[in-house]
């Protein structure tokens, strides 16, 4: 197996020290055989053991712990004092401290520049750098290491992790191995051994990355599977169901207290809370709009403000913003700081979501842990989740709109048929009030259908609306829907009304609430017939719209309806919009009747004027 025995003998004889030692051919033969049979096998076994120890480090450990374990093996094998690892960060152009042995030795600078540093020279040359005496090395600036740690010499070895994708860079770093001796001479064998262990360390990190990629893909598949299960539900897409199914998949990544999906207005002046987890009342004001300027962190996430300070309380990158400590961070408002304290939120992650070059949404993750950093793989999963939730949110809006198309579509078709009948009968007159009424309703309802379609992309503008007038108009449309559906023996009652009630809202929101409730009330009337009645009134500073229908429900069903958990999509939509409008809903049971009351905050300015 060893083919160079004769060459090895000749090498020994050529050494200056060998010339002074009488050595026979027999002695040299025994010496070479002893080295071959006893010395080299023991040495190779030790090298293999150290290599295996590094390669077999648990890849599920964080990278910093992997590096700490690997440097421990290198220190022990090379008889060194300590070792540290620095990784080059191309975004900052700095070398980051990324683990050391002993671990307490990691109290070093968080980063050092690549210029005028030993580690920087190794990164640029990809060759080892030897420092026989730290005290005389101009590139080693912090000489206190001699007194503090007893380190007087060092060897710096390059390490690299090859890229996995064409768009990636190779990860490069430096392992600095410290020795107690001054004026140390570094033997070729230990340099070769250090290089071998550094390469195996790269293998261990690459192995972790491969497994991480597998886990990331597995996590993405689980997220898609959960979302598609929700999309396939009979009642359509509900964002709260999507969140409730997906969030458990993130439990091993972040110990989440809450998370939310925000959309950004076209002018980037406001953000709207589209969905949140958990879903219980009072935690998330879904539908609420916030000025971007209300939170400094919103401006940073949307690239509206440059935050150039180096702070221990935030990590700001192009991919995310991590607020490590909400109570000390300057990018968090007082209100959000108080909210974080009351809900035990100790770090907040913000992930911007792009459509092309434009940020249209962002997500927030409120963690119980005080996270210092998230890995690239974790951020990749959060980005993937955010994009999938954007799709689900768009589908939820589409489902809502398709559901709410029914009443105006029925009414439009009915009035159009009446106009056609008058035209065919030759009964059209220029000043016929009935024809004018039909045309007005057709114009209003087709305009409303158009607004509903456009609401997929925008909400329009808030306006002051007369609640009584709106309820009467929607009741008129519901009458036509009753005729189109050929429902029999329904007695319609109107009033009393308070014509002074005004509310500030998106008109489309209020129309959808009233349409859904009128439609549900109509469908709840027993087959043998009954009443459908509307009225409005002011009750304890609430503007109220009341809808009563024949038919009773159980107390259990009443409580479910109050929580928005009833069958059908209409009540889910209604509860969500009423929450956006900061209103409330009540259900009262009478003698063979069910009354539903919608209470909304009145427009106080309008009432004051009256």
Q: Is residue 219 part of a domain?
A: no
pLDDT at 163: 67
- As a whole number, mean pLDDT of residues 329-358 equals 85
Domain stops at, among 415, 437, 458: 458
According to DSSP, the residues that pair with 490 across neighbouring strands are: 530
The residues pairing with 364 across neighbouring beta strands, listed in sequence order, are 260, 350
> What are the pLDDT digits (tens) for 462-520?
788 899 998 988 888 788 777 766 677 888 888 899 988 898 887 878 888 888 888 88
The more confident residue out of 366 and 573 is 366
pLDDT tens column, 584-606: 888 888 888 888 888 998 886 65
Q: Which of 46, 68, 83 marks a domain boundary?
A: 46
Provide mean pLDDT across the span 149-163: 86
CATH number of 100's domain: 3.30.450.40
CB count in 10 Å sphere of residue 127: 10
Domain count, the chain: 5
Does the residue 311 lie in any domain?
Answer: yes
Contacting residues for 268 by C-beta, under 8 A, at least 6 apart: 292, 302, 304, 359
* CA–CA dist 319, 323 (Å, integer): 14
Asked whether residue 600 falls in the same domain as residue 477, the answer is yes
537 Cβ partners below 8 Å, 6+ apart?
496, 498, 501, 544, 546
- State the Cα–Cα distance between residues 147 and 370, nearest whole angstrom: 34
- Residue 64 and residue 98 in contact, taking contact as beta carbons nearer than 8 Å: yes
Among candidate residues 355, 374, 401, the one where a domain is terminated: 401
User: Does residue 165 lie in a domain region?
Assistant: yes
CA distance 513 to 101: 64
| Coarse DSSP helix, strand, coil percentages of the chain, rounded to the nearest 5 percent | 45, 20, 30
pLDDT of residue 152: 92
| Whether residues 85 and 140 fall in one domain | yes
Question: How buried is 395 (Cβ within 10 angstroms: 0-12 exposed, 13-18 middle, 19+ buried)?
Answer: middle
240 is a domain residue: yes
Shared domain for 445 and 470, answered yes or no, is no
Q: Which residues contact 227 (CB under 8 A, 6 or more apart)?
A: 242, 245, 246, 388, 389, 392
Please tell me the predicted confidence (pLDDT) of residue 180. 93
Residue 259, strand partner residues? 277, 365
CB atoms closer than 10 angstroms to residue 495: 11
- Within a domain: 199: yes
**Residue 347 and residue 452 in one domain:** no
- Determine the structural domain holding residue 26 and report its residue range: 1-46
CA distances from 582 to 136, 251, 461, 588, 605 (A): 72, 32, 17, 20, 17
CB distance 489 to 528 below 8 Å: yes
- SS3 label, residue 338: helix
Confidence grade of residue 129 (pLDDT, cut at 50, 70, 90) = very high
In a domain, 267, yes or no: yes
Strand partners, 463: 505
Mean pLDDT of all residues in 579-587? 81
Contact 353, 383 (CB under 8 A): yes
- Note whether 519 and 420 are same-domain residues: no
Q: What is the DSSP letter of 186?
A: P
Confidence class for position 177, pLDDT limits 50, 70, 90 = very high
Residues 80, 182 within the same domain: yes
Residue 433 and residue 442: Cα distance in Å, rounded? Answer: 14
pTM of the model: 0.52
β-strand pairing of 314-316 with 358-367? unpaired
490 and 383 together in one domain: no
Per-residue confidence band for 275, with pLDDT thresholds at 50, 70 and 90 = confident
Angle at 77 between CA 72 and CA 79, to 5 degrees: 95
| Whether the Cβ atoms of residue 265 and residue 382 lie closer than 8 Å to each other | no
Confidence tier at 392 by pLDDT (50, 70, 90): low
Whether 221 is in a domain gets the answer no
CA-wise closest residue to 12 among 26, 25, 28, 1: 28
Q: Could you tell me if 473 and 604 lie in one domain?
A: yes
CATH number of the domain bearing residue 601 = 3.30.565.10
Mean local confidence (pLDDT), 561-577: 66
Which of 89-93, 427-431, 557-561, 585-589 has the largest mean confidence?
A: 585-589
Residues 152 and 146: beta-carbon distance below 8 Å: yes
**Each residue of 295-332: pLDDT tens digit?**
888 888 888 877 766 678 888 887 888 888 889 888 88
Q: Do 309 and 362 lie in a common domain?
A: yes
Do 430 and 502 lie in one domain? The reply is no
222 part of a folded domain? no
pLDDT in tens, 74-91: 888 888 999 988 888 776
Q: In this model, does residue 207 exceed pLDDT 80?
A: no
Domain check: are 544 and 566 in the same one?
Answer: yes
In this structure, the answer to whether residues 104 and 132 fall within a common structural domain is yes
């Amino acid at each position: 197996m060893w083919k160079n025995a004769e060459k090895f003998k000749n090498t020994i004889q050529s050494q200056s020290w060998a010339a002074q030692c009488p050595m026979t051919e027999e002695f040299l033969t025994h010496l070479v055989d002893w080295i071959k049979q006893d010395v080299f096998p023991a040495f190779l076994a030790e090298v293999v053991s150290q290599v295996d120890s590094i390669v077999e480090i648990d890849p599920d450990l964080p990278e910093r712990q992997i590096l700490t374990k690997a440097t421990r093996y290198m220190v022990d094998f090379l008889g060194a004092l300590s070792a540290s690892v620095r990784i080059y960060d191309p975004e900052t152009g700095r070398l980051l401290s990324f683990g050391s042995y002993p671990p307490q030795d990691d109290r070093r600078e968080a980063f050092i520049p690549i210029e005028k540093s030993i580690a920087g020279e190794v990164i640029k040359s990809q060759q080892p750098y030897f420092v026989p005496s730290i005290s005389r090395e101009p590139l080693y600036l912090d000489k206190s290491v001699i007194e503090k740690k007893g380190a007087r010499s060092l060897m710096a070895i390059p390490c690299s992790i090859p890229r996995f994708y064409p768009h990636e860079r190779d990860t490069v770093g430096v392992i600095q191995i410290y020795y107690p001796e001054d004026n140390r001479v570094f033997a070729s064998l230990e340099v070769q051994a250090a290089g071998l262990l550094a390469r195996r360390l790269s293998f261990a990190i690459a192995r972790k990355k491969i497994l991480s990629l597998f886990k990331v893909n597995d996590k993405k598949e689980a997220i898609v599977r959960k979302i598609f299960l929700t999309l396939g539900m009979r009642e359509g897409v509900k964002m709260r169901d999507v969140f409730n199914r997906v969030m458990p998949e993130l439990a091993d990544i972040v110990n989440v207290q809450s998370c939310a999906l925000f959309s950004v207005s076209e002018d980037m002046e406001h953000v709207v809370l589209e969905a949140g987890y958990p879903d219980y009342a009072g935690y998330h004001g879904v539908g609420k709009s916030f000025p971007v300027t209300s939170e400094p962190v919103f401006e940073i996430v949307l690239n509206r403000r440059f935050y150039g300070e180096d702070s221990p309380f935030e990590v700001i990158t192009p991919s995310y913003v991590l607020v490590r400590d909400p109570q000390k961070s300057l990018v968090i408002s007082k209100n959000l700081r108080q909210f974080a304290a009351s809900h035990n939120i100790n770090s907040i992650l913000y992930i911007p979501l792009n459509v092309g070059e434009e940020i249209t949404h962002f997500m927030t993750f409120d963690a119980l842990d005080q996270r210092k950093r998230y890995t690239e793989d974790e951020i990749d999963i959060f980005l993937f989740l955010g994009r999938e939730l954007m799709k689900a949110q768009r589908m939820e809006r589409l489902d809502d709109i398709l559901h709410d198309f029914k009443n105006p579509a029925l009414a439009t078709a009915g009035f159009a048929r009446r106009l056609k009948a008058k035209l065919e009968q030759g009964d059209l007159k220029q000043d016929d009030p009935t024809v004018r009424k039909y045309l007005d309703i057709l114009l209003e309802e087709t305009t409303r259908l158009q607004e509903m379609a456009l609401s997929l992309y925008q909400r329009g503008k808030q306006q002051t609306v007369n609640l009584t007038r709106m309820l009467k108009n929607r009741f008129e449309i519901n009458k036509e829907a009753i005729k189109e559906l050929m429902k029999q023996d329904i007695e319609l009652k109107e009033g009393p009304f308070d014509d002074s009630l005004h509310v500030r809202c998106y008109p489309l929101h209020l129309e959808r609430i009233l349409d859904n409730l009128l439609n549900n009330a109509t469908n709840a009337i027993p087959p043998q017939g009954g009443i459908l009645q509307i009225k409005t009134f002011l009750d304890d500073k609430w503007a109220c719209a009341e809808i009563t229908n024949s038919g009773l429900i159980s107390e259990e069903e009443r409580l479910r309806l109050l929580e928005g958990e009833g069958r059908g999509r209409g009540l889910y939509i209604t509860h969500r919009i009423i929450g956006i409008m900061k209103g409330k809903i009540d259900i009262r049971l009478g003698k063979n009747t069910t009354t539903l009351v919608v209470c909304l905050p009145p427009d106080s300015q309008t009432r004051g004027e009256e």
